[in-house]
Structure 1
Amino acid sequence: MHPKYRPDIDGLRAIAVGSVLAYHAFPSLLPGGFIGVDIFFVISGFLITTILLQSLAAGDFSYRDFYARRIRRIFPALVLVLLATLAFGWYVLLPGEFSQLGKQTTGGAAFFANLVFLGEAGYFDASAETKPLLHLWSLGIEEQFYIFWPLMLGLAWRRRWPMLRVVLAVAVISFLVNVLTVQAHRAAAFYSPLSRAWELMAGGLLAVMQLQSVAQGAATARAWKKHLQSIVGIALIVLGLFMTRSTKAFPGWWALLPVLGAASCIAAGPGGVLNRYLLSNRVMVWIGLISYPLYLWHWPLLSYARIVTGGEPPLQLRIVLVAASVVLAWATYRFLERFVKLHLSQAILRGLAGAGAALALAGVLVFLGTPMPRHDSPALQAVADATREDNYYDGFEEAALGNQFVYRAGSGKHNVLLIGDSHVEQYAPRALELVRTQPDKARTIYFATKGSCPPVPGLFSGPDTGCDERRTAVLDLALKPEIDSVVLGACWSCYFTGAGPTVNYFVDDRKAVHPFIGGDGIDQSLKSLGEVLKRLSAHKPVYLVLGNPVGMDFDPLRQIEGSRLGRMTAESGQLKAPMPQDQAQFNARLKQVAQANGAKVIEPFASLCADGECIRSMPDDGSPAYKDIGHLRPRYARSFATYIDPALLDEGAVGK
């Protein structure tokens, strides 16, 4: 048995998929768009629980029929997208990348994609953008729910357990797992079904309450109550879209916004004012109908665009890809999903299940190296390894310091806090290496970083996606007595030299804007940095890490000739690039600011450059030393970025 069709739920699906798509394609436009997945979870929990309880009540429930319907719903589009993603991956990926895609394909086809990604970098890490099947983590959680929940409900029904209490108990336990693990084990809280089940249970609770209300002949809620639920639901979702950030502990308490919002919208019913006029709008319903294939198609397109272009695709290309994903989703719905729905037979069902199993097996073979991708040169692979090696916090503990999410390593007598953007994050592997090799000398090391967020109050770089809030909080944290020393750093040349100043500006205490070009924004920013260093150095040792060389000359992809869509070759060996003189000059200016305000200076140029040239390659094997145009790869930082050691070891330990 199936619940009566509600167009407003398809409209809610449209909000969910549109939010995720906007976040992936235009992240600065909708910084909290990833909560669309949480909306999907609530919808699934409501519909599946309704179906199961109605079937159990009617006495016609069949596990075989239930799972057959899940295969019919999930497999047609999933098999098509997996096949297309794997085939295109063979054409454009390098051996290591293609092998990883094989593992992801198996996870996606065998219902454990979330567990695959749990063992890798987090959902919000930079490397996530080049994983074409990353989005299947949410499908893994739903599929695990489809396996567990019918068995649980069937047992509760046979034992005549109070259904509302059963669902509530599962929800409460899962929510407690969520809030208790989100700080210490962020990735696990994000990907684990144990910490996500409560979101599905929110929909399940709603289903149980509505069915019990109908069975008891309860009076229909008044219209004003439904309108209020509809308005509150949409308001909570909008609040979540614009307030939630990737830097916050998510899901945690923040996930209550989309979950309660979606539940309130569903509870309002089709008669709620916004359900009727917004969610049931024909356009919204149409998007909702293609939401599943749209979710499946959009991410591989965007991810492969990043891989092929070697970075963030141009805005025009992202717009084209969003449009293409809509077209592909419509075609998949119109010509594949509807065909399977109208012509479902045992033969088609067995074919879909067999195709899923075949793809899972193919993924295993690809992971093991058979077949090799089209681009299989060892020199190309060395470059690819460098560009993919960016999980800087691998091996760190996820922790909370004050009320801020941080990464922690070591257990030394003194605590050091590192603040800045990803150019501070790049030294995390060196910190972990010191903790491993010199545990008695290494400090307890905390990294409180945020990409594109320099530790300079008032300095803004493009759209502010929570930088100022994070920056203020961690700089306040640096003043706490439990922090013994502080390290500040950033990609200074990204903000102050080259093309950076075209989008950067300074905002003073009176909210007046000081542009970098045609204004005194640079001077004001350096003054602000000096004030921070002076305030901190009055209480504890402070280090300012100057910039390392950045620019297109240092891009490991410069070693490759050709394109991923054509033929590629790569050079190797001990490669160097001219020293960026403007960056060296600006570092000298930063050094003066630091010394004038009581801070010690760490100078990467002194180790990375000599005689007017800077290294591009690893000293040992000649593979790239950088992962992109500006970040040192973790393998280089781990072994050779020894210039950062004085800030991470107890005084007197360096060089011993």
Structure 2
Amino acid sequence: MSSSTVPGRPVDHFLAAPSNARERANSGSEAPAAPLQSSKIAYRADIDGLRALAIVPVVLFHAGISLFSGGFVGVDVFFVISGFLITTGLLQDASITRFYERRLRRILPALTAMMTISTIAALFILLPGDLLAFGKSMASALLFGSNVYFWRQSGYFATITETWPLLHTWSLGVEEQFYIFFPLCILLLGRARRRLLPVAIIAMAAVSFWAAQFLIGNMKETMAFYLMPSRAWELLLGSLLATGVVPTTRNRAIGALGAAVGIALILFGVFTYSAATSFPGLNAVPPVLGSALIIWAGQNGEHPLSPVLGSTPLRFIGLISYSLYLWHWPILAFARYVAIEPITPFVATLAVIGSVVAAYLSWRYVERPFRHVSARGKIWGWSAAAGGVMALASLALIVSHGFPQRFSPAIVALNADQDDSWRCSPSAFVRLGNFYACAVDLPSHDVRKADVILWGDSHAQMYVPALRAALHGRSALLVNAYGCAPTVRGGQDANCTRIQNENFKHVAALPAKIVILAQNWPQYRKEVGRRTGGKTPPDQRFLPAARRFAETVEALHAAGKTVYALPAVPNPEYELPSVVSRDLAFHGEPRHPTGVTNADFRRDFANVLAVEDRLVAEGKLSLIDVRRFICHPDICHFIQNGHSVFADHGHVTNAFARAMGPTFDAALRPALAKP
């Protein structure tokens, strides 16, 4: 896996392909109800092979095999399979009760087993803040809402997510949310579903795909990645195949060609995509279309590639794919949590082997037996009992705040600082041109009534608690784009250029006279080297970003704005509160830097500091001196009085942001006092 990871998620959780005649007999629907297709669900070995083609890249991607840098596309393959199989079952038996009974049989036993073992491991391994978060994620997983929980907690491919044992359950949330409303759609169509369902599916898929593209275009990739509305089109494509509206072929050569193209499209994503790939949306089309082609190719019988997809090794992997999906991520997450540093290939290999063993045992002794329980009452009763026990366990972890008595107060305090950085509430989002801003103490949500504009990347957002202390009844507008510095023209990439250049036009045109700029300077240190494909010479560090900053300040000054900026500050550039608290817990001392000398900082940031000094001397810029909270005469301290200054790799905690309030107040008071 690359240095940043998000689990690549679901496997088909319903109507797993039976491995023998007895299982085939037990997996069918009980009674057809006005089906679009009259045939029973037949076992297709090639779909098990397709599952294998999905789960293997997912596992190897998460294990850190760079060749499989796009292995996360396995989630899209599983979504299509799931949409196809579940819709086929629903069209043959529209009973909602039986539908959810089958869901419970398929999902809950293996999920409960995994969460039970993971909870026991978490009690011994995780520090209090992490155990508390584990409890919250378990509660959200039981409610099939963990995708929403993790969307609010993490960034797209955020590094810290590598150590969250239940992160992979987000995909279950997507699927189960989909299967709450989709069966109802079929029921509402009633007798007309033969005629109207394909049209409804196409319409819903189009809206879902548009939503994914819209969110990505508005720098909301995390939302697009995790939430069901922007993922539904992938499941709906599988559903469309199940309606029979897509013409099939009996020509074996055409079937083989379709399957071959499908495999090629999936592998294209697996081997060419990476964590830097914008996803989902357009880039999800190849694996989604490839999966659909493979399913379509086998709908009228075998073709020359069927024996390959249905071979014994691929079928075996496909059969255990759900359990393998469930087990591989927590095993890798716990290994990374304890290792702190990136795990070695040897450890990753052991984790993968252990995942396969755990998956087989789970499939053999948990999945299969529960699928064969005949008494319906036992299924519902056992499901309620298992869910209740897990709910009580998660409640205990939350109420106890992660049982902090297991560790020293110093470790507990430092660990609690992680992820404690300000975020804009979704209810505060306001439209600004083609993008969004955040209303700060602005009840009307009228952007023209804001008194102060705070503009930048994610580092602008973290200063909102400090800014609020200086408003005194006034209002502000946060205009930020993650990973994109404020700029009047140009940008570090095309997407940032498009967004921030437009933001400048709106910021310059708004009535607010005070504009505060903030950006994460360290991320722009090596921009010259990235552009040339080589190293960045020390005297060229930050140069392109410093030039853009100067141009932006000068343009805002020319537009009549009073311009302030948060000066460049050093930051750890690693997940400090999480890493150092684990250092202390597992090794007894910090093994990562907890500060930098002032001399080293000034040498590293020389180009930025020179531009700041020049603009201040010219009267075009005022600095709000937050650097003094971190840098003292000799050392810039990342940990002060037992607490981390930073909530992660570079965003200050809410506590430190609030401590900066008087400094903001003193700096802004003269400008705010002007009529």
> Match for residue 242 of structure 2?
207
> Match for residue 463 of structure 1?
none
Shift in CA distance, 488/646, structure 1 to aligned 2, threshold 3 Å:
farther
Aligned amino acid, residue 671 of structure 2: G
> Match for residue 259 of structure 1?
288
Instruction: State how far apart, in whole Å, the 2-side matches of 1:552 and 1:65 are.
Output: 49
Query: Which aligned pairs between 1:351-362 and structure 2 lie closer than 5 A?
Result: 351=382, 354-362=385-393
> Match for residue 640 of structure 1?
660
> Match for residue 381 of structure 1?
412
258, 261, 272: which is aligned to 1:229? 258
Helix, strand or coil at the partner of 2:646: coil
Shift in CA distance, 380/607, structure 1 to aligned 2, threshold 3 Å:
closer
> Match for residue 357 of structure 2?
327
Q: Are the aligned partners of 1:416 and 1:483 in contact in 2 as well (CA < 8 Å)?
A: no
630, 653, 662: which is aligned to 1:608? 630
> Match for residue 434 of structure 1?
467
Shift in CA distance, 313/531, structure 1 to aligned 2, threshold 3 Å:
same
> Match for residue 600 of structure 2?
582
Query: Which aligned pairs between 1:410-425 and structure 2 lie closer than 5 A?
Result: 410=440, 411=447, 412=450, 417-419=455-457, 425=458
Instruction: State how far apart, in whole Å, the 1-side matches of 2:467 and 2:401 are.
Output: 38
Q: Are the aligned partners of 2:49 and 2:309 in contact in 1 as well (CA < 8 Å)?
A: yes
| Count of paired positions | 606
Q: Are the aligned partners of 1:14 and 1:287 in contact in 2 as well (CA < 8 Å)?
A: yes
Instruction: Please state how far the C-alpha of 1:375 moved relative to its aligned partner.
Output: 1.9
Shift in CA distance, 309/446, structure 1 to aligned 2, threshold 3 Å:
farther
Shift in CA distance, 524/402, structure 1 to aligned 2, threshold 3 Å:
farther
Instruction: State how far apart, in whole Å, the 2-side matches of 1:366 and 1:25 are.
Output: 28
Shift in CA distance, 33/75, structure 1 to aligned 2, threshold 3 Å:
same
Q: Are the aligned partners of 1:409 and 1:432 in contact in 2 as well (CA < 8 Å)?
A: no
Q: Are the aligned partners of 2:130 and 2:402 in contact in 1 as well (CA < 8 Å)?
A: no
Instruction: Please state how far the C-alpha of 1:195 moved relative to its aligned partner.
Output: 4.4
Query: Which aligned pairs between 1:133-144 and structure 2 lie closer than 5 A?
Result: 133-144=166-177
- After superposition, the C-alpha distances for 1:77-122 in whole angstroms (9 at most, x for unaligned) are 2111110111111112233432332232233234333344455445
Instruction: Please state how far the C-alpha of 1:351 moved relative to its aligned partner.
Output: 3.8
> Match for residue 546 of structure 1?
568
282, 289, 295: which is aligned to 2:325? 295
Instruction: Please state how far the C-alpha of 1:386 moved relative to its aligned partner.
Output: 0.7
Aligned amino acid, residue 581 of structure 1: A
Instruction: Please state how far the C-alpha of 1:206 moved relative to its aligned partner.
Output: 0.8
Shift in CA distance, 9/434, structure 1 to aligned 2, threshold 3 Å:
same
> Match for residue 199 of structure 2?
165
% identical equivalent positions: 31
> Match for residue 672 of structure 2?
653
> Match for residue 5 of structure 1?
43
Taking structure 1 as the reference length, the TM-score comes to 0.75
> Match for residue 135 of structure 2?
102
Aligned amino acid, residue 229 of structure 1: G
Tell me the C-alpha RMSD between the 2 structures: 4.8
Taking structure 2 as the reference length, the TM-score comes to 0.73
Instruction: Please state how far the C-alpha of 1:46 moved relative to its aligned partner.
Output: 0.4
Q: Are the aligned partners of 1:33 and 1:241 in contact in 2 as well (CA < 8 Å)?
A: yes
Question: Does residue 523 in structure 1 map to residue 523 in structure 2?
Answer: no
Query: Which aligned pairs between 1:131-530 and structure 2 lie closer than 5 A?
Result: 131-158=164-191, 162=195, 163-172=197-206, 174-175=208-209, 183=218, 189-209=224-244, 220-223=249-252, 225-238=254-267, 240=269, 251-252=280-281, 254-269=283-298, 276=306, 279-280=309-310, 282-310=312-340, 312-314=342-344, 316-341=346-371, 349=379, 350-351=381-382, 354-369=385-400, 372=403, 375=406, 377-390=408-421, 392=423, 408-410=438-440, 411=447, 412=450, 417-419=455-457, 425-431=458-464, 433-434=466-467, 438=471, 444-450=477-483, 468-470=493-495, 473=498, 487=517, 489-490=519-520, 492=522, 506=529, 511=532, 513-516=533-536, 521-530=537-546
Helix, strand or coil at the partner of 2:647: coil
Instruction: State how far apart, in whole Å, the 1-side matches of 2:157 and 2:410 are.
Output: 30
Instruction: State how far apart, in whole Å, the 2-side matches of 1:399 and 1:252 are.
Output: 23
630, 644, 659: which is aligned to 1:624? 644
Q: Are the aligned partners of 1:174 and 1:197 in contact in 2 as well (CA < 8 Å)?
A: yes
Instruction: State how far apart, in whole Å, the 2-side matches of 1:10 and 1:553 are.
Output: 39
More displaced 10-residue stretch of structure 1: 391-400 or 256-265: 391-400
Shift in CA distance, 436/10, structure 1 to aligned 2, threshold 3 Å:
farther
Helix, strand or coil at the partner of 2:529: strand
Q: Are the aligned partners of 2:421 and 2:652 in contact in 1 as well (CA < 8 Å)?
A: no
> Match for residue 573 of structure 1?
none
Instruction: Please state how far the C-alpha of 1:243 moved relative to its aligned partner.
Output: 7.4
Shift in CA distance, 609/468, structure 1 to aligned 2, threshold 3 Å:
same
Instruction: State how far apart, in whole Å, the 1-side matches of 2:674 and 2:119 are.
Output: 49
> Match for residue 78 of structure 1?
111
- After superposition, the C-alpha distances for 1:542-567 in whole angstroms (9 at most, x for unaligned) are 85842325489976765677535x9x
> Match for residue 55 of structure 2?
17
40, 65, 77: which is aligned to 2:78? 40
Shift in CA distance, 478/624, structure 1 to aligned 2, threshold 3 Å:
same
Q: Are the aligned partners of 2:453 and 2:507 in contact in 1 as well (CA < 8 Å)?
A: yes
Helix, strand or coil at the partner of 1:449: coil
Instruction: Please state how far the C-alpha of 1:23 moved relative to its aligned partner.
Output: 4.5
Instruction: Please state how far the C-alpha of 1:257 moved relative to its aligned partner.
Output: 4.2
Shift in CA distance, 363/333, structure 1 to aligned 2, threshold 3 Å:
same
Show structure 2 runs of 5+ residues with no match: 1-27, 29-39, 441-446, 510-514, 558-562
Shift in CA distance, 359/637, structure 1 to aligned 2, threshold 3 Å:
same
Instruction: Please state how far the C-alpha of 1:616 moved relative to its aligned partner.
Output: 4.6
Instruction: State how far apart, in whole Å, the 2-side matches of 1:23 and 1:397 are.
Output: 36
